[in-house]
Amino acid sequence: MSFDTLGLHEALIKAVTDSGYDTPTEVQGKAIPPALAGRDLMVSSSTGSGKTASFILPALQRILAARGDNTKRREKGVVYGPRILVLTPTRELAMQVAKAADTYGRHAQGLRVATVVGGVPYPAQIKALRGPLDILISTPGRLLDHLQTGKAVLENVEVLVLDEADRMLDMGFIEDIQTIAEHVPQSRQTLMYSATFAGHVGRLAQSLLKDAERIDVSSHTDTHENIEQRLHWADNSTHKNALLDHILTERDMEQAVVFTSTQRDADWLADRLADMGHAVASLHGGMPQGRRNRVLQGLRTKHLRVLVATDVAARGIDVPSISHVINYGLPMKAEDYVHRIGRTGRAGRNGLAVTLAERMDTGMIRRIQQFTTQNIPVAIVSGLEPKSPEPKIFAPRPEAKFGGKQFGRGNDFSKRPGKPFAPRRDAGFAPRRDEGFAPRRDQGFPPRRDEAFAPRRDQVFVPRDAAARGPFDRKPAEQGAFAARNGGAGKPAPRPGGKPGFKPQRGFSR
Ligand code: AMP
């Protein structure tokens, strides 16, 4: 199949060709024709599958088709608002979508794309909302703020896109999305992307979509053939740190994203690695957007070799030179494992995804293996072998049956007969470990709505000493602060690795 056969405008085909793509990916091949025909879509497709282009290209086509019909938009003093509205769970993903809109819309003259996300000042956003606009990409919390103050006009939206809808619901955005959808005309086209359409995501789809076509370019059972997965068992956190240090100094390590379970662990670990001389920074939802952008830019320009990140902040990172993903702290949900490892092996390259697990992580490893229907092969670093016996990962219930390809050692789930096993992808509103629902006493501001469990307006905040800080150095956490990893139970935070206290990270210095 080629892009010529999909019915796209030549300006879009040219932009796609400029980007070096000649063949549509599976999701593009399946979603673009019905989207161009005006159908509502429910699409399951993993990140890295080319899903952004699968909705941005049809959206751009609509804008091109409407060119010449812009007289109304030029009426003085009339705020017309966007034709296309894309909602994303995180600011990073919003930026990614905006970048794709600019890339694929580069031959659409005068294309106007704006992003309205939390954590950045309001005035520029208000100005952008007032001006002529084709595509608006936004996180729900901030857009709702602008709706409530009358700054955002959505009455001329023709296409509403919900990207990673399951994640938006996990983050507590359901009411915001419903309110936003009420401000968008009923006659709109709605394209909804989600890993799952079970449970509350399915109910939301039912209420927002009309006669939708379901496209499932299945994601979680993808074998990620270009990503090698490894599991290292660690006896304790000291052993885990030694394994991490070894992996980060391997010769084939170009750039790595190290995932932690909490924001606090991300800061702590980035400090530790900076002390060791790595070019490292942390990235998490407790950081102001400006700094998050600078960190991502540092990663793209290779000033940073290691990024220590939490799940929410790392979503949407598309940096082809990331050779390693290291799970230092395990994710809260099995599907996050898939999102994490998808940060490597991008743009046709190979990647390595290493998981460092302690005995207490056994249950999560089992859930990940059930979810992906793959075993993660166990590996050993010579000289750093675990002293404890390898924990046994119990097979799923005997009636379990999986469709995915098996590899590696251990249980062969596929040989077990019986009832299909449904992984609990749709685990509901469980708070995420990295979303900081524990009191953040060290920062003096409450958790943000788009990152936090407690629903809260997506307001601007400026940490007290932000002005005094450079782009990558961070505010030391106070000793004895409560850790999110303790569930805010009031115990002093144990440092991973047992190291008490804190040494300030030295940012980029090697
Ligand atoms: P996404 O799933 O939207 O995050 O896209 C993942 C990556 O695939 C991005 O780097 C895109 O630039 C790239 N991509 C999009 N469409 C194609 C295509 N048809 N062929 C190859 N790569 C693509």
More confident residue, 388 or 224: 388
pLDDT tens figures, 455-496: 333 333 333 333 333 334 333 333 333 233 333 333 334 444
Q: Which of 51-60, 188-197, 242-251, 493-502 has the lowest mean pLDDT?
A: 493-502
Measure 460 CA to ligand 1 centroid, in angstroms.
32
Rg of the Cα atoms in the chain? 23
Å from CA of 71 to ligand 1 middle: 35
* Residue 347 alpha carbon, nearest atom of ligand 1: 10
Question: CA 65 to CA 207: how far, in whole Å?
Answer: 28
Q: Which residue has the higher pLDDT, 73 or 445?
A: 73
Reported as a pLDDT band with limits 50, 70 and 90, residue 451 is very low
Q: Cα of 49 to ligand 1 centre, how many Å?
A: 6
Atom of ligand 1 nearest to the CA of 49: 2
Average pLDDT for residues 435-450, to the nearest whole number? 35
What are 253-295's pLDDT values in tens digits?
A: 999 999 999 999 999 999 999 999 999 999 998 888 889 889 9
CATH code of domain 3-216: 3.40.50.300
DSSP one-letter string for 336-367: HHHHHHTTSS-TT--EEEEEEE-GGGHHHHHH
Task: Look at 486 and 341; give whichever has higher pLDDT.
Answer: 341
Using CB atoms within 10 A of its CB, is residue 106 exposed (0-12), middle (13-18) or buried (19+)? middle
CA gap 416, 147 in Å, rounded? 53
> Can you list the positions of beta strands (E) in 358-502?
none
Tens digits of per-residue pLDDT, 354-398?
A: 999 999 999 999 999 988 888 899 999 999 999 999 998 875 443
Pocket mutation for ligand 1, best pick of 17, 25, 55, 56 (most atoms within 8 Å of C-beta)? 25
What's the CA-to-centroid distance between 295 and ligand 1, angstroms? 23
Ligand 1: residue whose CA is nearest its atom 8? 50
User: Can you tell me the distance from the alpha carbon of 325 to that of 348, in angstroms, rounded to the nearest whole number?
Assistant: 16
How high is the mean pLDDT of the chain?
78
Instruction: Out of 309-323, 409-423, 434-448, give the one with best mean pLDDT.
Output: 309-323
Residue with CA closest to ligand 1 atom 4: 48
Least confident of 40-49, 271-280, 441-450: 441-450
277-286, 329-338, 498-507: least confidently modelled range? 498-507
Angle subtended by helix axes 289-300 and 91-104, to nearest 10: 60
**For position 430, what pLDDT does the model report?**
38
Neighbours of 471 (CB within 10 A): 15
Q: 193 alpha carbon to ligand 1 midpoint, in Å?
A: 16
Question: Which atom of ligand 1 approaches the CA of 47 most closely?
Answer: 2
Count of C-beta atoms within a 10 Å radius of residue 5: 11
The mean pLDDT of 116-141, rounded to a whole number, is: 93
Distance CA 37, CA 58 (A): 9
**Quick one: pLDDT at residue 190?**
98
Q: What is the mean pLDDT of residues 489-508?
A: 38
pLDDT above 90 (res 419): no
Residue (of 253, 248, 255, 331) closest to 299 by Cα position: 255
- What is the mean pLDDT of the segment spanning 28-36? 96
- Please give the CATH superfamily to which domain 227-397 belongs: P-loop containing nucleotide triphosphate hydrolases (3.40.50.300)
Could you read off the pLDDT of 73-93 as tens digits, one per residue?
556 677 889 999 999 998 889
* pLDDT on residue 199: 79
CA of 216 to the centre of ligand 1 (A): 17
pLDDT tens profile 140-169: 999 999 999 999 999 999 999 999 998 898
Q: Report pLDDT for 170.
A: 78
Nearest-CA residue for atom 20 of ligand 1 = 21
The residue whose CA has the least distance to atom 11 of ligand 1 is 50
Cα-to-centroid distance, 31 and ligand 1 (Å): 14
Confidence check: pLDDT of 497 > 80: no
Cα 229 versus chain centre, distance? 20
Report CA(60)–ligand 1 centroid distance (Å). 16
Q: What is the pTM of this model?
A: 0.57
* Closest residue by CA, ligand 1 atom 19: 24
Q: Check pLDDT > 80 for residue 402.
A: no
Q: In what order do the strands lie in the sheet with 306-309?
A: 227-233, 351-357, 324-327, 256-259, 306-309, 280-283
* C-alpha span between 235 and 72 (Å, rounded): 67
Q: Which pLDDT score, from 0 to 100, does residue 322 have?
A: 93
User: Pick the residue with more confidence: 338 or 33?
Assistant: 33
Mutate to test the pocket of ligand 1, among 6, 27, 52, 102 (most ligand atoms within 8 A of CB): 52
pLDDT value for 212: 96
* Cα separation, 486 vs 59, whole angstroms: 45
Question: 307-330, pLDDT tens digit by residue?
Answer: 999 987 777 687 889 999 999 999
Which residues, judged by CB distance below 6 Å to any ligand atom, belong to the binding site of ligand 1? 21, 23-25, 28, 47-53, 318, 347
The CB-side HSE value for 90 (13 A sphere, CA atoms) comes to 27
Residue 455 near residue 168, CB atoms below 8 Å? no
Distance 219 CA to ligand 1 centre (A): 15
- Residue 74 is predicted with a pLDDT of 58
pLDDT grade for 29, boundaries at 50, 70 and 90: very high
Domain boundaries, the chain: 3-216, 227-397
Are 125 and 91 in contact by the 8 Å Cβ rule? The answer is: no
For the chain, give the percent of residues with pLDDT over 70: 73
Shortest-distance Cα residue to atom 14 of ligand 1: 50
Q: What is the DSSP string of 155-179?
A: TT--EEEETTHHHHHHTT-HHHHHH
Measure the CA–CA gap between 304 and 60, rounded to whole angstroms: 34
Element (H, E) at 87: strand 84-87
Identical fold, 3-216 and 227-397: yes
The predicted-structure confidence for 52-75, as pLDDT tens digits, reads as follows: 999 999 999 999 998 866 555 556
Quick check: 59 and 159 in contact, CB under 8 A? yes
Q: Which of 19, 163, 219 to mutate to test the pocket of ligand 1 (most atoms within 8 A of CB)?
A: 19
